[in-house]
DNA sequence: CGCTTTATTGAGAGATATCAATACTTGTGG
DNA sequence: CCACAAGTATTGATATCTCTCAATAAAGCG
């Protein structure tokens, strides 16, 4: 199956602004040059376009160059669960490394571009370059940790705390990407937020309103500005 | 810090009955011999003894030789969430590979023994033995997939379905370990089950009773026999 | 601009939690 | 080996959070 959108070939890892977040992080520049040979291709996705589907044979990892994606898992009976949101510099496709097939759908939340890292080539290289292997392990481990914290959130916390933690997490990631004054945009719909948090969109809406009325945040559609970050942390009960 | 319990040195991976489940699975026997040199030590744990704690520096992986453990994560505010139950042949400690510290507590549910795999030595070996690297990837990937399915369960399913899926999952693993007639023992308390499933022990109790009255299972304390496995699958809405 | 999608708001219902009491196990020490 | 204590599980009554259903409002898109 060909990619729905066209591939482009351009910027090298060694010249990419995202090095700090992405695979190159913590690698020697000599090692990053090796990556250049791998991540040659990129895909552009429009909103709602699918990068890969649950069940597809896993042959690549991807790193988000710009934009935002979500991953979600679903079962026959129709249920589906949003598992994560993925911003510039983040690696996706790791859910395929156990079974050789992706376990999730990855879908663009807005116009996005991702770098394609052919996995068998990557493996070969990693086998020869310990630093790369190590970096891969860190990235996988990060995802594992994240999922485990997410499990705590879904299993043990009331909706209010889940939402507070979610906002704080996005804030942190937005800040790392240059956002200031705790102001950023939600790239996902209320439905996606709700699914991610294990609550309904109505509950999301009501909680957002409550936070807003409590003076914790200011909301206008999908724009948010955190007013009282201490208050939010308190509400969240700390986790991060 | 020394291990609370004493270490023992004995059986080699190449001679272990568990090879089929454990690390050796799918490895050439020559490669398994290499593992022998690594997994030399074992720890015996009594019920409630802690194998490692959240925050401890991660320097080993472990494989369960016999017995059963749980892993759980907790936060300041007291909440804690059981993340998994681990039976013979299963690898634990992977949650530490991202941050170099374990992200969870691992606690014995009954008298258990685990093999210690020093992680730096393991890494060295894996760097030289691609098959081992590959196997490690599979194992990590499996855990990632599992966690993602667990997230769906916690986020999107009603208690009844969560419990049905849980029972079916345990049944499958018990069967793989030699159980017959869909009869096996819960190694964990109702509290642990509840935490794992994101419901209270009272709800667990009531659902178990309901399943029992519906003729799906027979329960006596922590022993269970599945009577109508089709019915359970139906209730679960399929996922596995 | 109108139409479709997305988000908000309200009223009511329901699943699960909480609180409380009882019953059952398990382990320990006499 | 029994008896008691401590931990664990069951059961019931009630409360509550969150969902569901329904209507409205706002935004994004062609």
Alpha helices in chain A (DSSP H): 29-38, 119-128, 130-156, 159-176, 190-197, 201-213, 229-236
pLDDT digits (tens, 9 = 90+) for A15-47: 888 888 888 888 888 888 888 888 888 999 999
Q: Is the pTM of this model over 0.85?
A: yes
Do B135 and B218 fall into the same domain? no
Query: Apex CA B193: angle with CA B223 and CA B73, to 5°?
Result: 140
List the 102-141 stretch of B: residues with Cβ below 8 A of A. Answer: 103-104, 123, 126-127, 130, 133-134, 137-141
Cα–Cα distance for residue pair A34/A146, rounded to 1 Å: 28
Do A60 and A113 fall into the same domain? yes
How distant is the Cα of A239 from the closest Cα of chain B, in angstroms?
A: 6
Query: Apex CA B15: angle with CA B116 and CA B115, to 5°?
Result: 10
Cα–Cα distance for residue pair A82/B156, rounded to 1 Å: 10
Cα–Cα distance for residue pair A23/A133, rounded to 1 Å: 11
**Mean pLDDT score of chain A:** 92
Contact between chains at A147 and B148 (C-beta distance less than 8 A): yes
Q: Which of A101, A126, A150 is the last residue of a domain?
A: A150
Cα–Cα distance for residue pair B62/B43, rounded to 1 Å: 9
Contact between chains at B137 and A80 (C-beta distance less than 8 A): no
CATH number of the structural domain spanning residue A86: 2.60.120.10
Q: What are the φ and ψ backbone dihedral angles of A110, each rounded to 5 degrees?
A: -160, 180
Do B181 and B64 fall into the same domain? no
**Does the residue A90 lie in any domain?**
yes
Q: Which of A125, A150, A175 is the last residue of a domain?
A: A150
Confidence tier at B17 by pLDDT (50, 70, 90): confident
- Burial class, A227, CB count within 10 angstroms (exposed 0-12 / middle 13-18 / buried 19+): middle
Do A23 and A142 fall into the same domain? yes
CATH number of the structural domain spanning residue A163: 1.10.10.10
Do B145 and B193 fall into the same domain? no
Task: Return the pLDDT at B33.
Answer: 85
pLDDT digits (tens, 9 = 90+) for B20-65: 888 888 888 888 888 888 888 899 999 999 999 999 999 999 999 9
Confidence tier at A9 by pLDDT (50, 70, 90): low
| Cα dist from B150 to A138, A150, B144, B156, whole Å | 22, 10, 10, 10
Task: Return the pLDDT at A187.
Answer: 96
Strand C atom within 7 Å of B159 CB: yes
**Does the residue B77 lie in any domain?**
yes
Per the structure, how many domains does chain B have? 2
**Mean pLDDT score of chain B:** 92
Report which of residues 178-207 in chain B place their beta carbon less than 7 angstroms from any atom of strand C: 198-200, 202-203
Among residues A65, A104, A52, A130, which one has the least CA distance to residue B133?
A130
**3-state class of B30 per DSSP?**
helix
Do B115 and B50 fall into the same domain? yes
For A87-103, what is the mean pLDDT? 96
**Does the residue A3 lie in any domain?**
no
Q: What are the φ and ψ backbone dihedral angles of B108, each rounded to 5 degrees?
A: -75, 135
Do A221 and A114 fall into the same domain? no
Check whether B196 has a pLDDT greater than 90: yes
Q: Which of A135, A150, A165 is the last residue of a domain?
A: A150
pLDDT digits (tens, 9 = 90+) for B66-113: 999 999 999 988 899 999 999 999 999 999 999 999 999 999 999 999
Task: Return the pLDDT at B76.
Answer: 86
Task: Return the pLDDT at B12.
Answer: 83
Cα–Cα distance for residue pair B108/B50, rounded to 1 Å: 6
Residue A65 domain boundaries? 13-150
Å: A198 CA to D19 C1': 11
For B151-161, what is the mean pLDDT? 97
pLDDT digits (tens, 9 = 90+) for A133-143: 999 999 999 99
How distant is the Cα of A165 from the closest Cα of chain B, in angstroms?
A: 13
Do A168 and A204 fall into the same domain? yes
Compute the half-sphere exposure of residue A75: CA atoms within 13 Å on the CB side of its CA. Answer: 19
Do A123 and A58 fall into the same domain? yes
Cα–Cα distance for residue pair A112/A173, rounded to 1 Å: 17
Do B117 and B17 fall into the same domain? yes
């Amino acid at each position: 199956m060909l990619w729905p959108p066209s591939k482009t070939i351009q910027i090298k890892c060694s010249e990419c602004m995202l090095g700090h977040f992405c695979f190159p992080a913590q690698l020697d520049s000599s090692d990053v040059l090796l990556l250049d040979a791998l991540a040659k291709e990129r895909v552009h996705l429009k909103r709602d376009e699918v990068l890969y589907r649950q069940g597809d044979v896993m042959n690549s990892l991807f790193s988000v160059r710009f934009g935002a994606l979500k991953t979600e898992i679903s079962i026959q009976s129709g249920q589906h669960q949003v598992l994560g949101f993925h911003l510039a510099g983040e690696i996706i496709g790791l859910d395929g490394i156990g079974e050789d097939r992706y376990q999730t759908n990855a879908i663009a939340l807005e116009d996005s571009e991702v770098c394609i890292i052919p996995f068998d080539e990557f493996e070969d290289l990693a086998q020869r370059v310990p630093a790369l292997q190590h970096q891969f392990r860190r990235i996988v481990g990060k995802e594992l940790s994240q999922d485990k914290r997410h499990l705590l959130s879904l299993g043990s916390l009331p909706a209010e705390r889940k939402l507070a933690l979610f906002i704080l997490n996005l804030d942190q990631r937005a800040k790392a990407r240059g956002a200031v004054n705790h102001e950023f945009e939600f790239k996902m719909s209320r439905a996606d937020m709700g699914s991610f948090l294990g609550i309904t969109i109505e509950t999301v809406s009501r909680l957002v309103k409550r936070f807003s009325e409590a003076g914790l945040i200011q909301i206008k559609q999908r724009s948010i500005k955190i007013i009282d970050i201490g208050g939010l942390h308190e509400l969240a009960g700390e986790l991060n």
